[in-house]
Every structure is written in C-alpha cells, then in structure tokens.
Amino acid sequence: MQKLFFFWLLLGAFVEAKRGTRINIFSQKNGDGDITQLHAAAHEKNGNRVMMNALPRSSPDRWVYQKGNDGSFVIPYKITGQFDLEENSIIMDAMRRITANTCIRFQKWNGESDYVEVQNRQNEGCYTIVGRQPGRNVVMLEANDRATCVEPDIVIHELFHTIGLWHEHMRNDRDQYIRVNFDNIPSYYQSQFEKVTPDEATTYDIPYDYRSVMHYAEDAFAKPGRISMQTVNPSYQRIIGKAVDAAQSDYAKVCIMYGCNMCMGKTYDQQSLVNSLKQNPNNGVNPNEPINPPAPSLPPNIVPQILVAGNENETKNGNGSESSSCYDLFSPICGMISEGNFLFSCSSGFTARICCRTCQQQKEKENIQPSPTQSSGFFGLFGRK
C-alpha cells in the first residue's frame, strides 16, 4: 500500500500542468519592457551607462569578481519566488544551457555581496537589469495561474540580460537588416528602439542574427494591428522574436565578452569564431523552415529534470558534444537508480525512458543489455513497460 501511494505521488509530480498564459515580453502591459535601465529614464543614458548590444570586455558591469576553480565566472543566485516543479526546472535548465556553452557558472548564493535574486510577483511581468549592479540584481519572472514568464526562451533571454546582453535590434548596424516603423510605435515606447553609435556599442564583429533569442518580434510595442519592425530580407519577417532557444551568436557574444577558454563546447579564438558565424549567417537556417528547439520536445505533461547549474555529469555523443536525444527527465528517480535503489531499474521500459541518460551510463558501465528476466523495479510492479 505504501508503494502504491508513493507511485501516485511521483506520478502527480509528472503530470503537473503549466500555469498561466505566456506573457509577451515585447509588449508587456506595464509598457516598460524587460530592461530595468529603460524603465525610469526612457530617453537618457543613465549617467555614464550606455545601451550596448553587449557589454565590452572593459565594462565594470560584468560578473568577473568571483571565479570558480575551473576558471569559470560565478554568478551567485537565489530563488525567492514561489515556483512550481516545472517552473523551477525551466529556470535551472536555462542556467545549465548557459553554463554548458560559456564560462558562466550559476552558483547558489552563499552570502556574496553581489548576486541574482529570481523573484515572482503578480502583475510585475518579466524584467531584469543588464549586467551586474552592486548588491541584489533582481530577475523578475512572474508566474501564476493567470500569466507566466517561465518559458525556456524567456528565462534564457532574461539571464542573458543579467550577463550583459542587450537586444539585437539596438545594434548600430541594424538598419542594414531591419526598418523600425516609429510611426507605428507610441512615443512613450520608442526608447525601446534606440540605436546606439559605434563608439557606444560593442558587437564583437558578430553578424546580425534574426534568430537571436534577444531579438524583438515584428509587432513589439506597436500600435494595435501595426508592426514596429520590418526585416530587409522579407523571408525573415516572421522569424524575428520567435526563437525558442539561444542562437550560436548569443553564446558567442558571452564567450568573447568574458574571454572564455571554450565556447559551445570547443576551444576557440575570437577571429575564428566570428568568421564561422559570418560564413554561416543566421546559423545556416532556411527562413522558410519551421522554428524548432535544438533539443527534442518533451512528452506532454512531463516535467524535465531539475538540473543544478554547473553539473558536469553529462552524457556525450560520439563527437564529444552533449547528446540531444537522451537525457534524464526526473532526477529523484534517476538518482535512485544511480545509487542502486531496488525500487527502480533500467529494465523497466518506463524508467528507461524517463532516465535515459542514467540508464545509458549504467549500460555502458556494465557493457551489457538489460536482461528481460531482471527485476523491472518499482514501476514494473504496476505493469508500466
């Protein structure tokens, strides 16, 4: 009876529904956008601060004052907002993606003076500040039964702001790629579309990317029924603002900004990285192809594994990169398998699916295929094959 209760308890965690309707960060009702620096001073540069595509390597606002033993730059964080299991998982997975592709490492706050605090307050929407500021740096991710910011692309977008990225359409060279229709934008929103001068902006010579997760959508802050931006190449008109994950160019800016030794899993030098992006503009994606996430979609109503940022226990494929088709979906169960808990076994088809990474590692370690005669573990007791 206790085992049956435990089973339904775990199953309940898997089928938890997503809360709220997605918040459009490009047209939030508060009218302020998702960059705190643009809230109070719509038309001023906030003292000596300027709106850049990416903070320069000389900027004091980078998170460079705490380094890990592996040479990574540490951003202390704490989550004080009330988030459900799936929302926590999405937040942690965004941190993991950044850690896996740059030299930024998110680490739980341990009293550091400068840190990120992830909050959740009703009617606040989604916003943060660009770069590090002294003390607490708020990342606001509203999530409730009415509305939510906790979507994979929104979370990683806000974390990139915290690290030091501004919006793609603010680049000085943007007129070669988009046309901003100021007549379609209310005057009090037009600060969201300011273009900066070359001496203010830093793009690191990385080409403009329509598929950047930092790009605004075509109707961002536009009057009803209008569009605020037109792409010079009309094929990309429906592409901007629709990214579901970070582009290579987004990670590349962070890597160069922080002088990472590795970027996107490979050693690199800046010029070679820039050249590769120039040779493969917009990541080589045909604008007529549907926009899909780089990793496979998760099964309906299944929450992904809550991954601790900085976890280096990753399954690699043949070329040394992280496998995009085999990953753990629920760490409590998968951890029990790793510990040899008799309740769970990879010989159960259901368990093998939700703990693909752990079971693959176990299979490689044992160098055998699971035998049909082996115990199928806890889920096998209920015929879940």
Binding residues are: 157, 161, 167
Q: How far apart are CA 49 and CA 196, in angstroms?
A: 12
Among 124, 158, 168, 218, the active-site one is 158
Q: Across the chain, how many H-helices and E-strands are there?
A: 10, 11
Which token pair is 78? 């704490």
Contact 225, 201 (CB under 8 A): no
Residue 258: Cβ-neighbour burial (10 angstroms; 0-12, 13-18, 19+): buried
Contact 160, 250 (CB under 8 A): yes
Contact 174, 232 (CB under 8 A): no
SS (H, E, C) 301-360: CCCCCCCCCCCCCCCECCCCCECCCCCECCHHHHHHHHCCCCCECCCCHHHHHHEHHHHH
Which token pair is 36? 């705190």
Q: How far apart are CA 106 and CA 82, in angstroms?
A: 19
Residues 6 or more apart whose CB falls under 8 angstroms from that of 72 comprise 99, 103, 104, 105, 310
Convert 170-191 to b/e letters by CB count within 10 Å (16 or more is b). Answer: bbbebeebbebbeebbeeebeb
Q: How far apart are CA 365 and CA 371, in angstroms?
A: 15
Annotated binding site for Zn(2+): 157, 161, 167
Secondary structure (DSSP) of 227-241: -SEEESSGGGTTTTT
Residues in the chain: 385
Q: Is 44 a catalytic residue?
A: no
Strand partners, 229: 180
User: Which residues form the catalytic set?
Assistant: 158
